Structure 1
Amino acid sequence: MLQEMISKTVVMEAGEQLKNVLPSNEENIQLMKKALILYRQDCVYRVKPLTNYSTTAYVQDVVPVKVHINLSDVIKSDCSCPAIQPCRHVLAVYLYLYAQYDRLGTFTENWKKHNQHLPLNQLQFKVNDESETLENWIRFFETEFERWEERTPEKQQNIQYLYFGYYTSIKKRSPSEPQLNKIYQIHAALATWFSIDQLFKNGRIHPEQDFLGVNPYIEQLMDTIHSSIDQLITYALSFSLDPFLEKTPAVIRKLLFINDPFHYERLKIFQIMWSALLARPKWLKKELEILTEMEPSPTIQFGRYHLEFLLKNDDDILEKMDDFSPTMLPHTFQWLDMMTMKKDWKRLKKWYDSLQSLTTRFCKLNRPYQDIREVLSEFLLMLGDYSRQTKDDPLYEKYCQCCLPYTFTEYSGFLYGKNRFVEWMELHSLIGFSIAEIGQKALKDIAVSAPEALIPSYHREISALIEQRNRTAYKQAVKYLKKLRTLYKKVKKQHIWKQYMKQLTTRHKRLRAFQEELRKGKLIDES
């Protein structure tokens, strides 16, 4: 049935696609070995053709995964595992299909030889030691991208083919010297990011429709840049890197001009590159002059602010805070984090005193609740570190109050930790929590420490239950009335309890079912 639905030609053409998507470098050789092991151990099962170009299958790995393989465009195959596609499971299923028509050794041998058949000027570029310059690297990146565009059909000029074809190819040209290698890896990732932007401009990928598909690859590029920087700053940077670092600002400046959906990620990389590798006063001042002379835009303005921050010109930034777009708030987090790591509490005080307006305006943005909540949660995490170190609880509470309801969790924890139970209960009532939704442990703790804090909430809950006008609600109201009676007894205000019960029974004397439940609960006598 498999061979009746899917022709040998289709399977062989898919193999040609894989040769371009997965160049035979060390990383992909290991990937192919894992796929071969899965196939040879009979881990591929329940192979079911769907059309003449697609099939589903299951692969038994550490856990079973489901694979859908698209032979007309193998990059569009998917797998239930979290790995970037094509993964070892997709390859294992393809090997299963290939084996139905030909010897597997034929495919693997041709795959390994594929790159060797490309023109030397296309694949065998190798910079000589004396030509290890940033200019040569950039020239190589641009030339390789042009060649990738020439040899890749338009329908295959997508993020997957770019990542596994172009990016994989330029990555393996990196120098052997460790520190220079890391600088190269950073620039290779940036070059790939700029190439993704070119795909956006050429209409090969769509900013909205393809956003979720592109996002994992952007995250991979960011991880490469972050890890390379971390390894570089572990030890003192060699002076031999200065010619590369000195010319790097012109490259990362391009991040400010890209018009893609990954606005936050681009500015994040701009920040960390300047903060970790380029924060020399001479370079900072020179770049600030360049950006100041440019036509202002939100991203260029942000670039200026970041350089001003690194030069510690805080007053110049803070006096413009009211002019900031509220979307700027997440971009201030790296600044706050840097000051926190340096324990520069005095400087942080000035910043937190100035950020309230921006934070309040951020809360009013027309965005999904969870998006705003995530940003404010990160902000309060940093603010919490500051307030604990400086004992500035009023500042923390002020932010919790002005950002409600998004800061309910943090403010609730703050009040509970301070044993301010009356305000804690008021906060829950304000958000709309009922007594039933509050944990029993919390109710017991409050009943012991501050019983008066529970009384108003029980009153509200009882009134709401009676208004429902049904027997079930009346029974629950009676349960709460008994707890309320206990609370009044604890605070030694039984006279208020008696007065309340007299008013309650008089007001609802026509509710026979309620009166009956009161008698059953022995809250009123038979008369």
Structure 2
Amino acid sequence: MSQLGLSVNEFNRLTEQMKRHFSYSTLEQGWRYYRKQAVSGMQAEVNAEVKSSKEQWITAEVHETKRYRVRFNVKQVKRSDCTCPDGGYCKHMAAVFFQLCEQTGGKPELYLAEFRQVYIDEERHRAATRKRAEQKAELERRKQARQMTLSPSAPAKEWHDFFHKKYGKAFTDFHSPVTGIVKWTKEELYRAADVLPKPIVPLYHMHVLLFLIQQLSIRYRHGGTTGIQGRDAPVAEVVAPCLNQLQSLAESFVLSSIPSVYEKHVSDLGVMAEAIAFSEEESPVDGLEPFAVLWSTVLNRREWMEEACERLKTMLAPISALRPRRRDAIRAALLHLEVMLGYEEQAVKRLNELTYYKEPGRYWMYLHEHVRHNRLDRLAIWLEALAPFVRQSGRREDMKQYWEFWECVYELAQDQAGMESLILTLMPGVYPYLSAFLLDRQRYRDWAEIQLLQRISPEEVAPSELDIVERAAPEVVLPLYHQAVERHIEERSREHYRAAVHLLQRMHRLYENIHSLSVWERYMDGLFDRYSRLRALQEEIKRGALIV
């Protein structure tokens, strides 16, 4: 190392300074410049001033997108400077250090490994320090949580603060099954209600259930419908009992049975339900369910609902500032309140604004209420609005439920043709229901048109249904046979030719029953001529004794 006037000890002292003053990321960047041979013109600075001092300077140039000049102080690294805009302790100085190491006979890669080990050791130390600090903070939090007690006179917000501070942390324990956490938390919180007046215990329990649903929403948000890495039970299995208990309590709750000082705790149920329903983060827990339960029961007071509507409308302005799912959740919640207030037409129009909340099952409860109170005009409005949702869903349960509502309206509807057009938009999902409906009303021609529309072969129709139509109106079934025969022949296989011949034999009996054998003969002559090149088909027709 004597070429640049550095002893081994001096270079070791320089290395210690590099460890203290340079970050590992900067040293790595400097290493990359060194490996690219970006350092050039390195030399010891020689002048009278330097000779008279104990300092030793190295000058070099480092090529990046631009050329930077480095003046490196070997004895006091902190006095080094570079013409780059990064300031002190830059990657260009680090590159000069590695080049200096090479030129003084050292192995730069060994020094880089030493720097890396220092970085690893420091990171371990920092991690251990952080962990000790977190453990200390957790112990302090647990100590404070144990000392917390529920205040009977506190507002609902303070109740929820108590819930979160004392039991919220338990839901972040991803090593324990969520069912056990819910059971333990509920038991502990219910036990805390011993200090409350008995009349308000059901109200307190509803707040507890809202807290549990909120925590489950947060937990399942990270693990999807099956929970954290499959350790948790499915979301529906865990959340449903909480929702059922909430609904049971809400339906049996009597507002007049509690002291008036707790009326704000009742209205705050809506505020807490909004916090769950309008979360910024997507979760498999449907936050709109507890919202709908509470506003349909406990909170069903006109002045509260009017106030909530105004609050939700304010949330929607401006719409561009909202995430799409949160925007839709607010719209769906507003729709529910408008239905409860009787602004039904306005509520139904909101369905067209929705992007996400289009599950038909979410809205069946409104239709059930109209059936129960025989409000068929309103039921018809909902059926027209929900038809696109049912068609998009395509689920058999939705089709069946929709059909049952449709049947309730149809018989008394003034515009039956319009109702029929509406149900046809849901084909083929409602096919089995519509087919049976038309047969019950002996509308055989309409029945046959539906089969033709769906390209259903007589072979695919239920034998009992086909037998009814063939006996009552055989002429309307013939087009089905003609269509099916042509489709089989177009398949161009021996198996399909045999199936076509079987249908032709059944057609022959039908033509015979309606005394139209002359029409049958002309049809067979035309069929035989049209497909004269299909020898296999001709053989099957002759084998079936359909033509001589």
Q: TM-score range by the shorter chain?
A: 0.5 to 0.7
Matched, 1:521 2:544: yes
Q: Which residue of 2 aligns with 1:420?
A: 443
Q: 2:497 aligns with which of 471, 474, 478?
A: 474
Structure 1 residue 477: Cα displacement: 2.5
How far residue 379 of structure 1 moved from its aligned partner, in angstroms, is 3.1
Distance 1:409 1:227, change over 3 A: farther
Pairing of 1:322-341 with structure 2 (within 5 A): 322-325=352-355, 327-328=357-358, 330=360, 331-341=362-372
CA contact (8 A) 2:216 2:239 kept: no
AA matched with 1:317: A
Q: Give the aligned partner of residue 126 of structure 2.
A: none
Query: Is 1:435 matched with 2:435?
Result: no
Q: 2:322 aligned with 1:299, yes or no?
A: no
Q: Distance in 1 between matches of 2:432 and 2:256?
A: 44
- State the alpha-carbon separation in 2 of the partners of residues 123 and 379 from structure 1: 53
What corresponds to 1:348 in structure 2?
A: 379
1:503-514 superposed matches below 5 A: 503-514=526-537
Residue number in structure 1 paired with 2:388: 360
What is the rounded CA distance, in whole Å, between the counterparts of 1:179 and 1:494 in structure 2? 85
Is 1:317 the counterpart of 2:347? The answer is yes
In structure 2, what is the Cα distance between the partners aligned to 1:249 and 1:473? 65
Q: Which residue of 135, 144, 148 corresponds with 2:166? A: 144
Equivalent residue, structure 2, for 1:452: 475
Residues 266 and 299 in structure 2, CA contact (< 8 A), matched pair in contact too: yes
Residue type of the alignment partner of 1:332: Y
Q: TM-score, normalised by structure 1?
A: 0.63
Q: Is the 8 Å Cα contact of residues 387 and 395 (structure 1) preserved in structure 2?
A: no
Q: Counterparts of 1:348 and 1:237 in 2: how far apart (Å)? A: 33
* Amino acid in the other structure paired with 1:359: A
Q: Which stretch has the larger CA shift, 507-516 or 403-412? A: 507-516
Secondary structure of 1:437 counterpart:
coil
Whether contact under 8 Å (1:182, 1:228) holds in the other structure is: yes
- What is the aligned partner in structure 1 of residue 27 from structure 2? none
Alignment of 1:69-218 (within 5 A): 131=153, 134-135=156-157, 137-146=159-168, 148=170, 154-156=173-175, 159-173=178-192, 180-199=200-219, 203=222, 205-206=223-224, 210=228, 213-218=234-239
Deviation, 1:497, is 0.8
Shift of 1:445: 0.9
Q: RMSD of the alignment, in Å? A: 3.7
Tell me by how many angstroms 1:190 deviates: 1.2
Matched, 1:219 2:219: no
3-state SS in 2 of match to 1:265: coil
Deviation sequence 1:321-344 (CA, Å, 0-9, x none): 543437446343333233332322
Code of the aligned partner of 1:360: P
Alpha-carbon distance change, 139 to 200 in structure 1, aligned in 2, over 3 angstroms? same
Aligned 8 A contact 1:133 1:244 in 2 = yes
Q: Using the alignment, how far apart are the partners of 1:512 and 1:246 within structure 2?
A: 82
Deviations along 1:134-184, one digit per CA (max 9) or x if unpaired, are: 4564344223324636xx7x4426633432332343245456988744433
Shift of 1:228: 2.6
For 1:272, give the aligned amino acid. Answer: V
Measured after TM superposition, the shift of residue 450 of structure 1 is: 1.7
Within a 5 Å distance, the mapping from 1:39-58 to structure 2 comes to none
Residue 14 of structure 1 aligns with which residue? Answer: none
Q: Which amino acid aligns with 1:384?
A: E
Q: What's 1:497 paired with? A: 520
Q: Secondary structure at the match of 1:156?
A: coil
Structure 2 unmatched ranges of 5 or more = 1-141, 320-326
Task: Decide whether the 8 Å contact of 1:326 with 1:362 is kept in 2.
Answer: no
Q: Which residue of 2 aligns with 1:272?
A: 293
1:290 aligned onto 2:311:
yes
Relative distance call for 1:133 and 1:324 in structure 2 (3 A) is: closer
- 1:280 deviation in Å? 1.0
1:436 counterpart SS class: coil
* Distance (whole Å) between structure 2 residues aligned to residue 127 and residue 454 of structure 1: 76
CA distance in 2, matches of 1:309, 1:517: 65
Amino acid at match of 2:257: S
Shift of 1:391: 7.4
Q: Which has the larger displacement, 435-444 or 330-339?
A: 330-339
In 2: Cα distance, 1:523 partner to 1:238 partner: 85
Task: Give the number of the structure with larger relative contact order, counting CA–CA contacts within 8 Å between residues 6 or more apart.
Answer: 1
Task: Pick closer, same or farther for the CA change 1:340–1:155 going to 2, 3 Å.
Answer: same
Q: 1:521 to 1:206 in 2, by over 3 A?
A: closer
Shift of 1:524: 2.3
Determine if contact 1:122/1:147 at 8 Å carries over to the other structure.
no
Tell me which amino acid in the other structure corresponds to 1:344: R
For these two proteins, the number of residue pairs brought into alignment is 391
Instruction: Name the CA shift for 1:486/1:341 in 2 (closer, same or farther; >3 Å).
Output: same
Deviations 1:405-447 (A, max 9, x none): 3333333333333322333333334334332222111111111
The answer (yes or no) to whether the contact 2:155–2:265 under 8 Å persists in 1 is yes
Equivalent pair of 1:159/1:214 in contact (CA under 8 Å): no
When residues 165 and 264 of structure 1 are mapped into structure 2, their CA distance, relative to the original with a 3 A threshold, is: closer
Question: Residue 305 of structure 1 aligns to which amino acid in structure 2?
Answer: L
Task: Report if aligned partners of 1:246, 1:283 keep a CA contact under 8 Å in 2.
Answer: yes
Aligned-pair identity (%): 20
Which amino acid is the alignment partner of residue 387 of structure 2? T
CA deviations 1:338-397 (Å, max 9, x no partner) are 3332322343344445x1xx633663x5x7x54xx5434433333333335657644542
Could you tell me which runs of 5 or more consecutive residues in structure 1 were left unpaired when the two chains were aligned: 1-118
Q: For residues 462 and 146 of structure 1, do their structure 2 counterparts lie closer, same or farther at Cα, with a shift above 3 Å needed?
A: closer
Structure 2 Cα separation of the partners of residues 375 and 350 of structure 1: 17
How far, CA to CA, are the matches of 2:238 and 2:533 in structure 1? 69
The aligned runs of 1:357-436 (5 Å cut-off) are 359-360=387-388, 363=391, 365=392, 369-370=394-395, 373-388=396-411, 393-436=416-459
The structure that has the greater radius of gyration is 2
2:19 equivalent in structure 1: none
Residue 268 of structure 1 deviates from its aligned partner by 2.7
C-alpha separation between the residues in 2 aligned to 1:350 and 1:510? 57
Q: Deviations over 1:172-219 (max 9, x none)?
A: 545698874443333222101111234357x5x357875973232122
